[in-house]
Amino acid sequence: MSETGYRETLRGEVIAKAGTLIEMEGLAALQARRIAREAGCAVGTLYNLFGDIDGLVVAVNAETLALLGASIGSAGVVLGTLSLEERLARLAMAYVDFALAHQRRWEAVFEHRLPEGRDAPASYLEDQDRLLGVIEAAIADFVPDANGQRGITARALFGAVHGIVALALDNRLGGRSLTELEQQVRLIVRLAAIGITRDNAVA
Amino acid sequence: MSETGYRETLRGEVIAKAGTLIEMEGLAALQARRIAREAGCAVGTLYNLFGDIDGLVVAVNAETLALLGASIGSAGVVLGTLSLEERLARLAMAYVDFALAHQRRWEAVFEHRLPEGRDAPASYLEDQDRLLGVIEAAIADFVPDANGQRGITARALFGAVHGIVALALDNRLGGRSLTELEQQVRLIVRLAAIGITRDNAVA
DNA sequence: ACCGCACATGAACTTCGTTCACTACGCAAT
DNA sequence: ATTGCGTAGTGAACGAAGTTCATGTGCGGT
């Protein structure tokens, strides 16, 4: 099971090269010939390993999602007895920090669209669920789970923070927008925390 | 100034064709030869009119943004004396409705990335400001404008709703996720409204 | 009628992703 | 050791896409 044959080694190297390429020049720089050249293999080998370019992108994105999951996860385990607002703020800022630290890599996850019929690998959904699980755990003390309310709330919170970050990065983060991003995230988190606290008569 | 020469007519027709093409098959279907064929002109003409394919996409997206602006705008003028939550809900649902009604067109706005150096046309920013203006007007009675708080709040609210909608559409809106989308949007709006109302001691 | 300019044209060029006939290599059987 | 076989690497060739540009053409002015 832990045998790492030549194939697995090569596969890992290609994913790594592709990852740094995305990190430095964005998703558009991921070209078959270029990867092949930089990874020291033939174009055809990429297709043996990943099926097509989308497969390679998916592999890189899966890695990125795993990294994000690790970041959010470790932010989630230290929430201890903090207030709801503080818990949400920690998680949200972990997300912001990750997005800023791996800007292009992170953009690639949402920028990439796989062709019509194909759907994302199971690991995507698993990572998504793991993320939502962390959020659900963080709000468990404050939101009842009737009718799946807690899940809905977790998704809404994630989407809200995600949207703010996505729009901010889209404007390419010129100058003051970086501090504005942080202000917006802190604001939405505070409002949501207040709203949740004062609204236990959930519709 | 209002003379519509052949060029302007053709330009409009091409944008219209491109718009319906995006609407029906998504951004990837926007191919130079295909547009040329369906619009009844030569490939080169497209380049005379729009510079390149990105220019055409930008033209279509500008139109889409204008449509969105009109939708949100007309939702904004009837907010009258409604509660804050109701105001935000109307605006947010107008946004959701637009995104669902023009799904692929709307996706194209955020899916499209213009190449490295180029930046979006002024009309993008104007439409963005107009949208934020509507939101700011809607919350003006409830949020003071000190330190640009109102602007920050408007942006945060827009981003929050946008993020929820974007993620929901990304999962391709299978079955129940449509009602979940609505639930999430209503929830975040309610939480924010409660938060704003009970938090006039803004940090 | 002539000229000249501005623009439409589409074949050709470039750059991609992708394929596939061929090769190289390892391993098992003889 | 030799042979045979199958798996996987190779890169030239192909097709599809964006883009260019030499050429044609129509129209307004003289």
Secondary structure of chain B as H, E, C letters: CCCCCHHHHHHHHHHHHHHHHHHHHCHHHCCHHHHHHHHCCCHHHHHHHHCCHHHHHHHHHHHHHHHHHHHHHHHHCCCCCCCHHHHHHHHHHHHHHHHHHCHHHHHHHHHCCCCCCCCCCHHHHHHHHHHHHHHHHHHCCCCCCHHHHHHHHHHHHHHHHHHHHHHHHHCCCCCCHHHHHHHHHHHHHHHHHHHHHCCCCCC
Q: What is the pLDDT of residues A117-176, one digit of tens each?
A: 898 999 999 999 999 999 999 999 999 999 999 999 999 999 999 999 999 999 866 667
Nearest nt to the CA of B31 via C1' is D17
Label residue A3 by pLDDT band (50, 70, 90): low
pLDDT at A8: 77
pLDDT of residue B125: 93
Closest residue in A to B164 (Cα) is A159
Predicted pLDDT of residue A145:
95
Q: Please classify residue B192 by burial: count the beta carbons closer than 10 Å to its beta carbon, then call 0-12 exposed, 13-18 middle and 19+ buried.
A: buried
CB contact (8 A) between residue B164 and residue A163: yes
**Is B147 part of the contact surface with chain A (CB cutoff 8 Å)?**
no
CB neighbour list of residue A50: distance below 8 Å, 6 or more residues apart: A14, A56, A59
Between chains, do A156 and B188 touch, taking CB under 8 Å as contact? yes
Looking at chain B from residue 97 to 136, which residues have their Cβ under 8 Å from any Cβ of chain A?
110-111, 113, 115
Interface size A-B, in CB pairs within 8 Å, comes to 121
Q: Is the pTM of this model over 0.85?
A: yes
Of all residues in chain A, the one with the smallest CA distance to B180 is: A152
CATH of the domain spanning A59-197: 1.10.357.10
CATH number given to B55-197? 1.10.357.10
Question: For residue B199, which residues of chain A lie inside 8 Å, CB to CB?
Answer: 190-191, 194
Is the pLDDT reported for residue A93 higher than 60? yes
- Per-residue pLDDT band for A1 (boundaries 50, 70, 90) equals very low
To the nearest whole angstrom, how far is the Cα of A2 from the nearest Cα of chain B?
34
10-residue block means of pLDDT along chain B (203 residues)? Answer: 70 96 97 96 97 98 97 96 97 98 97 91 94 98 95 98 96 80 98 91 49
Residues from chain A that touch B25, judged by Cβ atoms under 8 A, are none
Average of per-residue pLDDT values in chain A: 93
Cβ neighbour number for residue A4 with a 10 Å cutoff: 9
